[in-house]
Homo-oligomer: A and B are copies of this chain.
């Protein structure tokens, strides 16, 4: 388990039997803030780099915007996704497309960045014969994890299995709007092979968006899920009015728990992903100081309202990622009889769902 050390910028298109170079074609499935921000970078790179088809397609669920026409037309005419990425100009070679099959037609590089509850129908369409190009590869920027009894699955593994194509993972300290404003940041991609590392690096790397490819697909994916559980603990600390020492201690303990969870249940992963990479420590810091999991967890302590209530009031009923992951991880660890070695994950669940006093967060850590 090590970072790839290939010269990724040297990615050059393959020549097949003396014919024209095979052009890579990028498709982005998802058009929320993060999907649009990633599509923007991919389109900027595709327009400039040799070996890429210049058009990047982005899947947008079609709907009528009152007085303004169809959403895809609006995005394609204004070159803005004003709901999810206000005041950000999108490159003209980024094209919003309403039909999923059209988005991925001839695409070789598929970026999956839908909320996890929409993944199943997306995979159903993509797995139909003839929809995907035979040489397609995927990358998942989906946060979360799937648990069934005592089994746990990352999204890249689910995608890989369902579509029969290699799937990488992308994660890091990446608040979408800051990325779209080209503020300096880093991201980590976990990729199964050096060839895929070179390809995905070429798709996303930019002067203000530094892409570091590593081998650990499971670690990058798990970190994106588990950090939200730790961010909830950070929110509880804020809600109790405790200071920087306590929050830093919770982050440190949480990061170690994230790493040992991943190491235990995905033994091929690397603890360096958590301690050294943007998908680990940096993403955890950003999420625990700025994200909405932290914010809702703070409100949970301060108001005494349940998460169901808070999700209703603050998120239009949308399920908070950290709450969902805390629940899944708790039930998985319970099914495995392994709760005792993950006291922080255990407590976040019990505080959220079993009326445990938030002050108990620090016991047995």
Contact = CB atoms under 8 A, between A and B. Distances in A.
B289 A245 contact: no
Nearest to A271: B275
A314 interface: no
A243 B175 contact: yes
A245 B286 contact: yes
Contacts of A275: 275-276, 281
Contacts of A289: 244, 289
Interface centre among A183, A248, A275, A278 (most CB of B within 10 A): A248
Interface string A250-292: 0111011000000000000000000111100111011001100
A210 B252 CA distance: 13
A174 B245 contact: yes
Contact of A281 (B173, B244, B252): B252
A249 interface: yes
A292 to B, nearest CB: 13
B283 A248 contact: yes
Interface residues of A, number: 37
Contacts of A184: 242, 245-246, 249, 362
Interface in A321-336: none
A136 to B, nearest CB: 29
Contacts of A286: 244-245, 247-248
A158 interface: no
A242 B178 CA distance: 8
A185 to B, nearest CB: 4
A298 interface: no
Contacts of A211: none
A248 B173 CA distance: 7
A346 interface: no
B175 A252 contact: no
A185 B246 contact: yes
B281 A249 contact: no
A41 interface: no
Contacts of A186: 249, 252-253
A149 to B, nearest CB: 32
A179 interface: yes
A285 B248 contact: yes
A255 B255 CA distance: 15
Q: Which 10 A-B pairs have the closest CB atoms?
A: A275-B275, A185-B245, A173-B248, A248-B282, A252-B282, A244-B286, A178-B243, A184-B362, A244-B290, A248-B286
Given A184-B362, A248-B278, A252-B277, 7 more contacts: A178-B245, A183-B242, A184-B245, A185-B249, A208-B362, A248-B285, A256-B276
